Structure 1
Amino acid sequence: MAKFTSPPLDGLKRRIDRHRQSQSEAGQSHFVRETFRLSRPEARQKAREWFDAFPKAAYWTEVESWRQLDGDEIEFTMRRLPSAD
């Protein structure tokens, strides 16, 4: 029985990044995004900092995407509105 290996996602990640960049340059994205690559405890702390600084109710703050990497590292993208009206 063959062992299943997941396909590489680097190409997809680059394509998503290019799409987000083009949307941002075209003024179509209303969100501020920032991507981090941190250890699990540091990732939790950074997400908490974002939610404390930019409350979800006012800024629509959320963890947009995340993935676990080797060595217990987490790569994640935080998203929020640029200002609360």
Structure 2
Amino acid sequence: MQPRKPEDIARQIAERRFQRSTLNDGMKRENFMLPRIEARLKAKEFLSRYPKAAYMTEIENWRELPGDMIEFTMRRLPSSD
């Protein structure tokens, strides 16, 4: 077996996190992959639209990708869908 590089291990861990985001725990999740500036704006917009106090909204996980891209998952309660 060939030794794994740290970046391979990090990628595998990140992929597991995104697979876990499909759990059926009653939370609604939305995944995004955007350039850094747009990702920041999207997260702010999402948090404004679904305030934490009412929807338990949070950024569940995120990771930096090559080319200054950010992949992230926003999580919230679907209380008024």
Q: TM-score, normalised by structure 2?
A: 0.77
Q: Tell me which stretches of 4 or more aligned residues in structure 1 moved more than 4 Å.
A: none
Give the whole-Å Cα distance in 1 for the aligned partners of 2:68 and 2:34: 9
Structure 2 residue matching 1:83: 3-state secondary structure: coil
CA contact (8 A) 2:29 2:75 kept: yes
Aligned partner letter, 1:45: L
2:60 is aligned with 1:59: no
Give the whole-Å Cα distance in 2 for the aligned partners of 1:67 and 1:15: 10
2:74 is aligned with 1:78: yes
Which structure 2 residue ranges, 5 or more long, are not aligned? none
Give the whole-Å Cα distance in 2 for the aligned partners of 1:11 and 1:80: 23
Give the whole-Å Cα distance in 2 for the aligned partners of 1:46 and 1:59: 17
CA RMSD of aligned residues (A): 2.3
Aligned partner letter, 2:44: R
Name 2:15's counterpart in structure 1.
13
Higher-RCO chain (CA-CA 8 Å, sequence separation at least 6): 2
Q: TM-score, normalised by structure 1?
A: 0.73
Give the whole-Å Cα distance in 1 for the aligned partners of 2:39 and 2:17: 24
Aligned residues: 75
- List per-residue Cα deviations over 1:7-40 (Å, max 9, x = no partner): 25248616852x543x32xxxx110001100000
Give the whole-Å Cα distance in 2 for the aligned partners of 1:80 and 1:5: 32
Query: Which structure would you say has the larger Rg?
Result: 1
- Once the two structures are aligned, what percentage of the paired residues are identical? 48
Q: CA deviation at 1:6?
A: 2.2
Structure 2 residue matching 1:43: 3-state secondary structure: helix
